[in-house]
Chains A and B, each alone.
Chain A
């Protein structure tokens, strides 16, 4: 079995990992680092439940070979609290009923935050287009989109 030394910064913490070359970033986050907020849905790029930020951009971690990202800065849903409390998007998801079973939520939070950092005032159409890579089997999306729009209005 081929192994490789990979260093990653995850939510600001440096990690040196000796990994099987086959491990995806999702495998590493969940199985090596115990960060279980990043979910494995399809394992194929379709559902967005595994979305994290890599060097500031949203990516589906199930399709990233960890060895390819030596030296990268990763942010997961565990790393986006605002002063230890839910951030404004997380708060809006709670208040607007955008969370039911919650399986999809970390992915929507990470991709939604990426949207709001690039476009602080997105239109509803832009929001829906941006979130099209995240699937939710419960809410029907209306309340999730509402939450993103609400968070956008609330930001200064």
Chain B
């Protein structure tokens, strides 16, 4: 590991000033469960490490005045799985967190780290995007808020510029029910071969709005827009669901890698999308992994 300077700023302005001053040569550490591996292997060689764990404005899960749920970037996966607010209104997010890594890693791995790491298989991305979450970003120059859907630019690449921090994720009030299905050989301690998040808002037996988000089958988490369109306004018969699932499997762009072939991933997108939509249309709680 290359030597680095280490800073633990106590306030947000102090942290942002440090990042601005180092202009791209500093790296932020939250839990470090991704970054430490990159540093150990030499894939990341920062000159400066900025430990953000003391920054109060990045902590906590709270309901906002606007009715949103705000997840501070430093919220741990462990906190997500135990938060009554998350379990009550966004169970698919808590469920996704509960099947990530291990109990030990969930104790310090963070929401912000999972998203900023921008892995195509990041388990929190599909269920959060399916809930129309947005990313609250801050820097020494100001702040901005963008849809989480636009946050991912490629494997390991997010919309953050040098000097910016992800401060929080905001999730609007839930519309309909949602599920996340992670497909991996092991139930725990495994990276998704395919992840599918689906959300359905039903009215009078028909689909009002739908979200289908696919993980690990494209350079970024992928919204299956055509599959969503095929559901809008329809009553959710087996045929309609099967058709949407087929479209989703055609929309994705998987690659062959150590975890699965492109062919297999595409097939599994179809299977899991059908499973997710069927469970949601029957209003069945789905606790498959």
Contact = CB atoms under 8 A, between A and B. Distances in A.
**Binding between chains A and B:** yes
Contacts of B108: 54, 57, 59, 63-64
B33 interface: yes
Given A65-B49, A133-B105, A44 B37 contact: yes
Contacts of A65: 6, 29, 32, 36, 49, 51
Interface stretch (A45-53, A98-106, A145-153): A45-53
A24 B39 CA distance: 12
A138 interface: no
Interface in B5-46: 5-6, 8, 29, 31-33, 36-37, 40
Given A21-B49, A67-B51, A57 B107 contact: yes
B51 A60 contact: no
B53 interface: yes
Given A44-B40, A114-B103, A68 B3 contact: no
Contacts of B3: 1-2, 20-22
A130 B188 CA distance: 9
Nearest to B108: A59
Nearest to A110: B104
Nearest to A129: B188
B188 A68 contact: no
A63 B105 contact: yes
Contacts of B29: 65, 68
Contact of A70 (B1, B5, B8, B186): B8
Contact of A67 (B6, B31, B102, B103): B6
B230 interface: no
Nearest to B102: A133
Contacts of A58: 103-104, 107
> Which applies to chain B's interface (DSSP): helix, strand, loop or mixed?
loop
B288 interface: no
A139 B154 CA distance: 42
Nearest to B51: A68
> Which applies to chain A's interface (DSSP): helix, strand, loop or mixed?
mixed
B271 to A, nearest CB: 24
Interface in B104-157: 104-105, 107-108
Given A44-B40, A45-B37, A129-B187, A21 B6 contact: yes
A4 interface: yes
Contacts of A2: 3-6
Interface string B178-216: 000000001111000000000000000000000000000
Given A2-B6, A21-B49, A68-B53, A132 B107 contact: no
A56 to B, nearest CB: 9
B101 interface: yes
A19 B186 CA distance: 38
Contacts of B8: 67-68, 70
25 contacts: A2-B4, A2-B5, A21-B3, A43-B40, A45-B102, A48-B104, A58-B104, A58-B107, A59-B105, A60-B104, A60-B105, A63-B31, A63-B105, A64-B32, A65-B6, A65-B29, A67-B51, A68-B29, A111-B104, A129-B188, A132-B186, A132-B188, A133-B103, A133-B105, A133-B188
5 closest A-B pairs by beta carbon, nearest first, are: A133-B102, A132-B188, A57-B107, A21-B6, A67-B6
